[in-house]
Structure 1
Amino acid sequence: MKVLLVCAGGMSTSIIMKKMRDYARTNDIDDFEVQATGVGSFRDVIDAFDVVLLGPQISYRFDEIAGVAGSKKPVGVIAPTDYALGNCQAIFKQVESLLKGE
Structure 2
Amino acid sequence: MKKILLVCSAGMSTSLMVAKMKEAAEASGESVRIMASAEADLEENLEGVNLVLLGPQVRYLEAKLRSRVPAEVPVRVIDSVDYGTMNGAKVLAGAMAEIKGREG
TM-score by structure 1 length?
A: 0.89
Counterpart contact for 1:56–1:77, Cα < 8 Å: yes
Counterpart contact for 1:75–1:98, Cα < 8 Å: no
| Stretches of structure 2 lacking an aligned partner (at least 5 in a row) | none
TM-score by structure 2 length?
A: 0.88
Sort the Cα spacing of 1:66 and 1:97 in 2 relative to 1 into closer, same or farther, 3 A.
Answer: farther
Counterpart contact for 2:5–2:52, Cα < 8 Å: yes
**Percent of counterpart pairs with the same letter?**
28
Q: CA–CA distance in 2 between the matches of 1:87 and 1:58? A: 18
| Stretches of structure 1 lacking an aligned partner (at least 5 in a row) | none
1:36 counterpart SS class:
strand
The root-mean-square deviation of aligned C-alpha atoms, in Å, is: 1.3
What do the CA deviations read for 1:27-62 (whole angstroms, capped 9, x no partner)? 221x21011011111111113311000000100010
Deviation at 1:93, TM superposition (A): 2.8
Number of corresponding residues: 100
Segments of 4+ in structure 1 off by > 4 A? none
